[in-house]
Amino acid sequence: MRILITSDLHYNVARSRKPTRALAERVCDIGGDVLIFAGDIAADDPKYFDDVFALFDGFEGHKLAIAGNHDIWTTGGADSLERYRTELAEIFARNGVHYLDAAPFYLGETAFVGNMGWYDFSFRPSALQIPLRFYQEKVAPGAAARLGNFGGLLTVEEDVTDDARAITTRWMDGVRVKLPMSDVAFTSMLAEKLRDHLQQASTRAEQIVAILHHLPFAELVPHSVLPNWEFATAFHGSEMLGEVLLEFEKVSHMFCGHIHREKRCRKGGIECMSIGSGYKEKAVEVLEL
Ligand SMILES: [Fe+2]
Ligand SMILES: [Fe+2]
């Protein structure tokens, strides 16, 4: 069985379109039994999803997808959970794409299991000495000072160092994602769904390929000497997801996206890889099982 995995096509972003079209041609040329989109497919107007999926009409195998954080971005305060559960399910269904967040997919003795995953700040870089409340609001101290409406985060001053105040990152999920629960609760919900789907798959299949958008293992987190980039690692994923994966011995592979950089590691019996698709360069990984 030949499985192709790509990620982060970001087709609503102008500079991502040409490289995505080139990638789609390559994918259709390679061909295979299964093609997986590991999240951040598009954002905003659903037509971007229809347009990008149409590029892969020439691929004759099964198409599977999970959501990414950008896929649940909304405008005007609309509910991202509704987008995640209902709107994306409809968009994927009308494009002939199986939505893995809703249910596993089976082919022969192999199961494909996964979902978007989320972040619970377990990967936040302690060396920056930034209090948790800033991560919860998705703004670094320098951004909180600049933006004005996060003044409450800075009223206690003694736990915010001068170095921390020089960090100006803002994670844009804080503006574009509206959830009716905390990030930690959302991560727990998705980790529990992952466990449920892995339990189902373990009874039906001999081998499991897992797909997530956010990272399940700290070994895949890309680190930087630049504090503005380091701050962002808090939003890369959750160790809770990895702990769930390691409960299931039939999981042989795990692919994720989100960080736009290729990294690999092995955890227990699982070969892990983040697909290195960025805005301007798209990647596809070919797995022969
Ligand atoms: Fe992305
Ligand atoms: Fe992402």
pLDDT of residue 258: 98
Write out the two tokens for 10: 């970001």
pLDDT bin (cut points 50, 70, 90) of residue 77 is confident
Ligand 1 centre distance from Cα of residue 203 (Å): 33
Ligand 2 centre distance from Cα of residue 69 (Å): 5
Collapse the DSSP code of 122 into the 3-class scheme (helix H, G, I; strand E, B; otherwise coil) and give the result: coil
Lowest mean pLDDT of 42-46, 112-116, 199-203, 252-256, name the range: 42-46
Q: Do the Cβ atoms of 8 and 261 come closer than 8 Å? A: no
Ligand 1 centre distance from Cα of residue 42 (Å): 9
Cα 216 from Cα 261, distance rounded (Å) = 15
Collapse the DSSP code of 260 into the 3-class scheme (helix H, G, I; strand E, B; otherwise coil) and give the result: coil
Ligand 2 centre distance from Cα of residue 263 (Å): 15
* Mean pLDDT score, 61-86: 96
Ligand 2 centre distance from Cα of residue 177 (Å): 12
Ligand 2 centre distance from Cα of residue 158 (Å): 33
Ligand 1 centre distance from Cα of residue 145 (Å): 27
pLDDT bin (cut points 50, 70, 90) of residue 34 is very high
Ligand 2 centre distance from Cα of residue 176 (Å): 13
Residue 259 φ/ψ, nearest 5 degrees: -90, -5
pLDDT of residue 156: 83
pLDDT of 30 higher than 90: yes
pLDDT of 227 higher than 90: yes
Q: Do the Cβ atoms of 12 and 68 come closer than 8 Å? A: no
Ligand 2 centre distance from Cα of residue 239 (Å): 17
Q: Which stretches of the chain are assigned E, i.e. beta strand? A: 2-6, 34-38, 62-66, 98-99, 105-107, 110-115, 207-212, 251-256, 263-267, 270-274, 284-288
Ligand 1 centre distance from Cα of residue 160 (Å): 30
One-letter amino acid for residue 100 of the chain? L
pTM (predicted TM-score)? 0.97
Cα 219 from Cα 210, distance rounded (Å) = 17
| Sequence-separated (6 or more) residues with CB below 8 Å from residue 209 | 3, 110, 111, 112, 113, 251, 252, 253, 254, 255, 287, 289
Ligand 1 centre distance from Cα of residue 40 (Å): 5
Give the closest ligand to the alpha carbon of residue 275.
Answer: 1
Give the closest ligand to the alpha carbon of residue 9.
Answer: 1
Mean pLDDT of the chain: 97
pLDDT of residue 157: 80
pLDDT bin (cut points 50, 70, 90) of residue 76 is confident
CA count, 13 A, side-chain hemisphere, 270: 26
Q: Do the Cβ atoms of 52 and 42 come closer than 8 Å? A: yes
Collapse the DSSP code of 288 into the 3-class scheme (helix H, G, I; strand E, B; otherwise coil) and give the result: strand
Ligand 2 centre distance from Cα of residue 70 (Å): 6
DSSP letter at 233 equals G
Instruction: Give residue-wise pLDDT tens across range 145-178.
Output: 999 889 799 988 889 999 999 999 999 999 999 9
Instruction: Give residue-wise pLDDT tens across range 44-71.
Output: 899 999 999 999 999 999 999 999 999 9
Give the closest ligand to the alpha carbon of residue 236.
Answer: 2
pLDDT bin (cut points 50, 70, 90) of residue 274 is very high
Cα 252 from Cα 208, distance rounded (Å) = 6
Q: Which domains does the chain have, with CATH numbers?
A: 2-288 (3.60.21.10)
Ligand 1 centre distance from Cα of residue 87 (Å): 19
Residue 222 φ/ψ, nearest 5 degrees: -80, 130
Ligand 2 centre distance from Cα of residue 42 (Å): 10
In 3D space, the residue among 258, 241, 250 whose CA is nearest the CA of residue 106 turns out to be 250
Tokens 């609760």, located at residue: 185
Give the closest ligand to the alpha carbon of residue 6.
Answer: 1
Strands 110-115 and 105-107: antiparallel
